Structure 1
Amino acid sequence: MTMNNDRRDILLRFGIVYVIILAVAAAIVFKIIDIQYLERPIWMKLASRLTQADREAPANRGNIFAADGELLASTLPKYYLYMDMRSDALHDTLKNHTKPLFYEKVDSLAMSLSRKLGDKSKDEYKRSLISAYKRVDKRFLLYPYLVSFSDMQQIRKFPLFNLGKIKSGLCEEVYARRVRPFGDLGSRTIGDIYGDGARGGKNGIELAFDSLLRGKPGVFSRQRIAGRWENVVAVPPENGADIFTTLDVSIQDITESSLLKEMTALQANEGCAVVMEVGTGEIKAVANLGRLPDGSYAERRNEAFADQGEPGSTFKVASIMAALDDGLISENDTVDTGNGLYSFFGQVMKDHNADRGGYHKISVAQAIWYSSNVGVSKAIYNAYKNNPGAFVDKLYSMKLNQRMHFDIPGAGRPHIKHPNDKNSIWSNTSLPWMSIGYEVGMPPIYTLAFYNAIANGGKMIRPYLVRSVQRDGKLIKSFTTETINEAICKPTTLTKIKAMLEGVVTNGTGKSVASPYVKIAGKSGTAQISKGSAGYKSNGVTHQVSFCGYFPADNPRYTVICVIRQPQIGIASGGHMAGAVVKDIAELVYAKKITVTPKEIAKTNNSPKIPVVKGGNYNEVQTVLSRLAINFMGDKGNYKWIQTVSDASSVQVRPMENRRNSVPNVVGLGAKDAVYLLENIGLRTQLVGRGKVVAQSLAAGAYPQKGQTVILSLQ
């Protein structure tokens, strides 16, 4: 009996528990249905208040570097600073304190902001902060300008702000700014990005490598946390890759300064200059300048790559090379140029000295020296008049018409027409005029590649601008020397051509290019600019002057081309005008490659024991003086920028004093350092002269407007 009672009790208890479980399960199911269907609108509305739709998290754009690791372009965050005075913590009174947190910290915060930002006094900051606090301002602007990342890091450590965003109410609005530490140096080659950033590269390397530089965006959502909207990253962005170029900052600076100086003196309309390393094809500098309406110069378009105009007399070397290599002429053959005028089928070919009686009988080599249009055209016409296609075929075999890939969007290509091409217009005068660089199209970079082949033992290689692409230090892609033509001509032909190019500088139209410091070989060019169907003389004759060559001529390391269009002052002359730029570049670049100490230099009684030393970056000055075994004295504290004074036995250094956002004193600095300092605070620079800065148009210590131009006088 007892056993049956126990069994009933157990079943009863089990039944009660079972019923309870069923009831709870039913309640849960009911609540799920209630939430999913009946209360769904309420909960969805609440969720929408706590979170927002997913947004794109932009990736940081990659950097662009020079060959030596100098930063050429980078995306740096800049910040606007706000305070949200609605933060509960600001209005709370701390334990054992008698006033709210805001009033506890406002004095020290106002002092820190005044010292760091400098636009208002401590009392002014305090009054504005208290006023915003009383208004419970949700978006109080602390500072009207963007602050840098490094400044932002310091500001986050200020009193009150060091308690964190939620307690302090500090808000940051981030703007990604694309900056070029060296200002406009090489700007057209490096390129620009569109203002909104999302569209990416606009031109130059920025556009050519845009897909790699921009990276891959991530995803984030906006969620309400502790009463404030915060970004919560769901998928992190993949930052862009870094581009390592072949550009050399110092050679780029020399090239731009030399081109600007000559173009300013000539009041020329456009010009470009390119420096290429002979053995590798690495482009060390590209300068492109155009004249603006106010008479100043800036990089407008990449003429060095895009201009497809007629090259003029620099093309004569290719013509003579073709005929020499085909065995149709000799460098010693005599050409009768007469009085400098010669008619081809009723169209007169004219030498530049025809008004002085011409050259009369000269050799083929002298025709190159003196850039005789009549001499070259007669030699080529007599060699190929029965088969003009053979002349063009020879140029093709030299790869002068082959298109090359460059890391610059919009690059042009050579155009050398063929008599058998039905789409080209070939006349009886095409052969003689093509031989002197007319009726052909040749971007300057292609002319440079041809002359570089002469300097490189006959091997033509592709000029290139980018060495490698890397992400987070890992190599993604690398670029090396690419051979276009193993030999543009026979070795014997090359020897004769090189001798002619040296003769141009020693005996011919390039005499002004001759330097006492470095041996230069090359060819000048002076050509009339075509106006298309209007001809060459419509609205007056305009000229393009050029010079292409290499140095040192005995053991070439660099090839240089300079092209200047529409000089307004002086008689158009490739040797005197463009040649002056090439000479300047050659001498300055060559000087930078010399490594000697004062003890190795033979001194005269008049030579100084201590050279004049420019001020600038402390580490760079220290490195140079140490390598030259020169003593330097003075304040050697931890200063980034210094000024120098040389005496008979040592160099005195002192720190450069400069207030935030004021014009620095750049007198005594080199052009590169001066431009870097001035353009880093938002100023534009204009250089006049060469050497170190001796005067600046804006006084040191002044507070300038953004975009204002500073004229630097160099000597």
Structure 2
Amino acid sequence: MEKENQNKESRMLKNYLIIVVALMFVVVGIVLRALQVSIVERDKWRELGEKQKAVKVKVYPNRGNIYSCDGKLMATSVPRYYLYMDFKADGLKKDTLNKYIDSMALALSKKFKNRSAASYKQHILKGYNRQSRNYPLYENKVSYLDLKEVQTFPFFNKGRNRSGLYYKEMVQRQKPYGTLASRTIGDIYGELEEDGTSKGKNGIEMAYDSLLQGQHGYATRIKLGVGWARVIEQEPVDGVDIRTTIDLKLQDIVEKALMDKLSEVDADYGTVVLMEVKTGEVKAISNMGRVREGVYAESMNHAIADEVEPGSTFKVASMMVALEDGIVTPQDSVDTGSGIFMYKGAKMTDHNWNKGGYHMLTAEEAIWNSSNIGTAKIILRGYENDPERFVQKIQDLGFAQPMDLGLPGAGKPKIRRPSENPHWSKLSLPWMSFGYETQVPPIYMLSFFNAIANDGCMVKPFFVKDIQKNGRIIKAFDTETIKNSICSDKTLKQIRSMLEGVVENGTGKAAKSELIRIAGKTGTAQISQGALGYKAGGKSHQVTFAGYFPAEEPKFSFIITMRRPRKAYPSAGGICGPIAKNIAEKVFGSNIKLRPSDLEPDTVWAPQPQIKTGYYSKLEYALDKLNVRCNDDEVETNWVDVDMPEDKAILTDINISDELVPKVTGMGATDAVYALESIGLRVSISGRGKVVSQSIPAGRKFSKGQSISLTLK
């Protein structure tokens, strides 16, 4: 019995030892695992823990829009995305990738059409072999709809963690009216800032950037089961909207007139500014720079940025000073000789010196005919011994004082003074009198001519009419007067008569119109090469016309400048005069408001109107107003071709796709440019009327950014 008890105790002890040893192993295992988790795998579990926490994220605002003066959309933001793959994503497995790569590559090839399926497969495997975390899947930006479609492709539909597909959001600023006033409207940088806003790069986009971009908000991302929820804590504040002074109808007229002449003379660049006389509102501004022969695009706002010698347009300011000081009257004579005048050892010439010059001219004829010698002799007569007085009088006119134009990159006028400039010489005064020895941005010269048109009152040009929030005006910009009167009424009347004479009798005859009286001054200036002078590398010129219309009751002022014309004699009258006439006539015509009831009925049969191919909704409206029947119930697209066999318009659908060049023959310039630029083509046009030919035939494949030329007649 005693032995049996001993055996029982021995077994119990043995079992106890086994349990103790087992528990010790468990404890050691727990300790070792705890050490592994806390030391070896610390970062991994800390990261996992962080992922389960509520995360505070930024909520991005919408950038404000920019509108024309009548509320047409000129710039708006559209999100765009770059596609990447992270081949070190936690859930990405090579065998899964290999399983789906063929179908995935095929889907990408069919979607983007920039690579074959085999090339996409090779491209993706190359990224995997590199184990890249930021591998570009597709080199171009895609839309939101494209992004969502790609996320449904084989393998990518497994989510970011398992497929490695992710994206970077960019903001693309779209301009529905293409190049119209593009440089003044400005651009933005594509990438979002750290605070989720987009940043203005130039133009109004940059000048009003802090208002347009808005303020980001905050949200908290919290884990709910297997998914995440976002709770908004602070709403983002969207940017304000900007309404500009730009009138798109007038902008189209200005840009078309400028482009036609630029293509003809092959100039480096051209610029036109059209301003409302009484208010100073800039209604149109175009700055077109040469990309290559026959192709121009907006690249720099030359109208406000260029500090250039104004040439003979400056003679008007010199004559105003002389008239105001009683140095001369319009009928006083000045001897210009044979067109060559030697002064202090330097030769001064008139543009017709090789034809014998003008000889005796009155002061007003010196302006009509843009005589350098006549202007210089008048100024020397009054200020040769006191050039400081002349410069002060020029300064007093107002246009030589810097103005805050509200746009970045604006230049400033630079008028040399004898008392402040060590390089002033005996030659400075006479050469300054006809536009050299000075640098004046075109828009400053325009403000001077606008003052002449505005009964002597100088107002500041401005580009923004008001700032709006949710359709409500929160700040309006009014006309700002710089100088109430730049000269006496008597002098102003004399100057205006001279400017009318320039167009009627002088160098501006090419601007003369049978429809509307135009007044202005031509200006041709040699371009300085800095320290190399005016003749290094051959002479080059800048030509200008500055003026206003109608001459008797001015409504608009304008300045037209072209730099380095290659295919025409450098004559301001010959090059800029026709542009001035073209713009004035069309702007004047566009502002004539007649009701049908104001017109006498025509008893003679009138043919059906000529209808241009174009945007369906506008055509439908016009046809309805003209009581012209059409087959509108058969139209399924936004763009239509038009045929007028008898008394009915036959509309045929025009399909606009992102792959094929559409047919734009028969369209007007605005519709054609919009239709082509909206699918990524760069457009240049020549002529006027309807599109009669396009350099890339309809139905042909194209590449984004490819150029296409249109001919209008």
Q: Distance in 2 between matches of 1:583 and 1:371?
A: 19
Contact in 1 for aligned 2:170/2:190 (Cα 8 Å): no
Could you tell me how far 1:149 is from its partner in structure 2? 5.6
Task: Determine whether 1:193 maps to 2:195.
Answer: no
Task: Determine whether 1:578 maps to 2:583.
Answer: no
Equivalent position of 1:274 in the other structure = 273
Residues 375-430 of structure 1 show CA distances to partners (whole Å, capped at 9, x for unaligned) of 111112112223322222222221121111112211011112223x3345322222
Could you tell me how far 1:615 is from its partner in structure 2? 2.8
Match of 2:497 among 476, 496, 499: 499
**Equivalent residue letter for 1:48:** E
Match of 1:69 among 63, 68, 71: 71
Equivalent position of 2:687 in the other structure = 689
**Equivalent residue letter for 1:236:** E
Alpha-carbon spacing, 1:651–1:151, altered in 2? closer, same or farther (3 Å): farther
Q: Distance in 2 between matches of 1:648 and 1:271?
A: 44
Alpha-carbon spacing, 1:660–1:386, altered in 2? closer, same or farther (3 Å): closer
Q: What are the within-5 Å matches in structure 2 for residues 248-259 of structure 1?
A: 248-259=247-258
Match of 2:50 among 27, 48, 54: 48
Q: Distance in 1 between matches of 2:390 and 2:645?
A: 64
Q: What are the within-5 Å matches in structure 2 for residues 207-222 of structure 1?
A: 207-222=206-221
Equivalent position of 1:375 in the other structure = 374
Equivalent position of 2:475 in the other structure = 477
Equivalent position of 1:12 in the other structure = none
Task: Determine whether 1:634 maps to 2:636.
Answer: no
Residues 590-642 of structure 1 show CA distances to partners (whole Å, capped at 9, x for unaligned) of 22223346786789999964442323233434555566x45353326575333
Q: Distance in 2 between matches of 1:625 and 1:379?
A: 61
Alpha-carbon spacing, 1:152–1:552, altered in 2? closer, same or farther (3 Å): farther
Q: Distance in 2 between matches of 1:476 and 1:426?
A: 49
Q: Which moved more, 1:447-456 or 1:551-560?
A: 551-560
Equivalent position of 1:59 in the other structure = 61
Q: Which moved more, 1:50-59 or 1:366-375?
A: 50-59
**Equivalent residue letter for 2:550:** P
Contact in 2 for aligned 1:371/1:509 (Cα 8 Å): yes
Q: Distance in 2 between matches of 1:366 and 1:646?
A: 55
Query: What SS does the corresponding residue of 1:561 show, helix, strand or coil?
Result: strand
Query: What SS does the corresponding residue of 1:292 show, helix, strand or coil?
Result: strand
Q: What are the within-5 Å matches in structure 2 for residues 127-142 of structure 1?
A: none
Residues 101-139 of structure 1 show CA distances to partners (whole Å, capped at 9, x for unaligned) of xxxxxxxxxxxx99x97989xxx9xxx9xxxxxxxxxx9
Q: Distance in 1 between matches of 2:288 and 2:605?
A: 38
Query: What SS does the corresponding residue of 1:523 show, helix, strand or coil?
Result: strand
Query: What SS does the corresponding residue of 2:557 show, helix, strand or coil?
Result: strand
Equivalent position of 1:547 in the other structure = 545
Query: What SS does the corresponding residue of 1:594 show, helix, strand or coil?
Result: coil
Q: Distance in 1 between matches of 2:540 and 2:85?
A: 62
Q: Which moved more, 1:205-214 or 1:142-151?
A: 142-151
Residues 676-709 of structure 1 show CA distances to partners (whole Å, capped at 9, x for unaligned) of 1111111111112222211112232333211111
Q: Distance in 2 between matches of 1:451 and 1:398?
A: 11
Match of 2:590 among 592, 597, 622: 592
Equivalent position of 1:533 in the other structure = 531
Contact in 1 for aligned 2:170/2:192 (Cα 8 Å): no
Could you tell me how far 1:542 is from its partner in structure 2? 0.9
Residues 208-249 of structure 1 show CA distances to partners (whole Å, capped at 9, x for unaligned) of 111111111223455444435665544332221111111122
Contact in 1 for aligned 2:66/2:244 (Cα 8 Å): yes
Equivalent position of 1:108 in the other structure = none
Equivalent position of 1:311 in the other structure = 310
Q: Distance in 2 between matches of 1:550 and 1:225?
A: 69
Q: Distance in 2 between matches of 1:684 and 1:214?
A: 28
Q: Distance in 2 between matches of 1:686 and 1:48?
A: 56
Q: What are the within-5 Å matches in structure 2 for residues 612-631 of structure 1?
A: 612-624=610-622, 629=626, 631=628
Query: What SS does the corresponding residue of 1:279 show, helix, strand or coil?
Result: coil
Q: Distance in 1 between matches of 2:422 and 2:560?
A: 29
Q: Distance in 2 between matches of 1:83 and 1:329?
A: 78
Residues 267-324 of structure 1 show CA distances to partners (whole Å, capped at 9, x for unaligned) of 1112211111112111112111222356632222211011111100011111111111
Equivalent position of 1:21 in the other structure = none
Q: Distance in 1 between matches of 2:698 and 2:403?
A: 48
Q: What are the within-5 Å matches in structure 2 for residues 22-33 of structure 1?
A: none
Q: Distance in 1 between matches of 2:143 and 2:622?
A: 31
Could you tell me how far 1:327 is from its partner in structure 2? 2.3
Q: Distance in 2 between matches of 1:589 and 1:647?
A: 33
Q: Distance in 2 between matches of 1:301 and 1:57?
A: 34
Equivalent position of 2:11 in the other structure = none
Could you tell me how far 1:506 is from its partner in structure 2? 1.2
Contact in 1 for aligned 2:658/2:679 (Cα 8 Å): no
Equivalent position of 1:22 in the other structure = none
Query: What SS does the corresponding residue of 1:215 show, helix, strand or coil?
Result: coil
Equivalent position of 1:240 in the other structure = 239
Contact in 1 for aligned 2:520/2:545 (Cα 8 Å): yes
Alpha-carbon spacing, 1:663–1:609, altered in 2? closer, same or farther (3 Å): same
Contact in 1 for aligned 2:526/2:541 (Cα 8 Å): yes
Q: Distance in 2 between matches of 1:433 and 1:268?
A: 26
Contact in 1 for aligned 2:59/2:216 (Cα 8 Å): yes
Contact in 2 for aligned 1:331/1:496 (Cα 8 Å): yes
Q: What are the within-5 Å matches in structure 2 for residues 57-136 of structure 1?
A: 57-78=59-80
Q: What are the within-5 Å matches in structure 2 for residues 347-426 of structure 1?
A: 347-419=346-418, 421-423=419-421, 425-426=423-424
**Equivalent residue letter for 2:213:** R
Q: Which runs of 5+ in 2 are unaligned?
A: 1-37, 87-106, 122-133, 153-158
Q: Which runs of 5+ in 1 are unaligned?
A: 1-37, 85-112, 129-138, 159-164
CA RMSD of aligned residues (A): 4.5
Q: Which moved more, 1:699-708 or 1:487-496?
A: 699-708
Contact in 1 for aligned 2:172/2:190 (Cα 8 Å): no
Residues 339-377 of structure 1 show CA distances to partners (whole Å, capped at 9, x for unaligned) of 111122222221000100011111111111111111111
Q: Distance in 2 between matches of 1:443 and 1:668?
A: 40
Equivalent position of 1:438 in the other structure = 436
Contact in 2 for aligned 1:658/1:701 (Cα 8 Å): no
Q: Distance in 2 between matches of 1:260 and 1:588?
A: 15
Alpha-carbon spacing, 1:651–1:597, altered in 2? closer, same or farther (3 Å): farther
Q: Distance in 1 between matches of 2:52 and 2:469?
A: 37
Contact in 2 for aligned 1:459/1:483 (Cα 8 Å): yes
Equivalent position of 1:265 in the other structure = 264
TM-score normalised to the size of structure 2?
Answer: 0.80
**Equivalent residue letter for 1:591:** G
Contact in 2 for aligned 1:414/1:446 (Cα 8 Å): yes
**Equivalent residue letter for 1:325:** E
Equivalent position of 2:176 in the other structure = 181
**Equivalent residue letter for 2:459:** I
Contact in 2 for aligned 1:412/1:443 (Cα 8 Å): yes
Q: Distance in 2 between matches of 1:546 and 1:473?
A: 40
Q: Distance in 1 between matches of 2:376 and 2:319?
A: 9
Alpha-carbon spacing, 1:335–1:478, altered in 2? closer, same or farther (3 Å): same
Equivalent position of 1:449 in the other structure = 447
Q: Which moved more, 1:504-513 or 1:44-53?
A: 44-53
Alpha-carbon spacing, 1:611–1:384, altered in 2? closer, same or farther (3 Å): farther
Q: Which moved more, 1:575-584 or 1:469-478?
A: 469-478
**Equivalent residue letter for 1:211:** S
Equivalent position of 2:6 in the other structure = none
**Equivalent residue letter for 1:369:** W
Aligned length: 649
Q: Distance in 2 between matches of 1:650 and 1:518?
A: 37
Q: Which moved more, 1:615-624 or 1:524-533?
A: 615-624
Query: What SS does the corresponding residue of 1:219 show, helix, strand or coil?
Result: strand
Q: What are the within-5 Å matches in structure 2 for residues 138-153 of structure 1?
A: 148=143
Equivalent position of 1:161 in the other structure = none
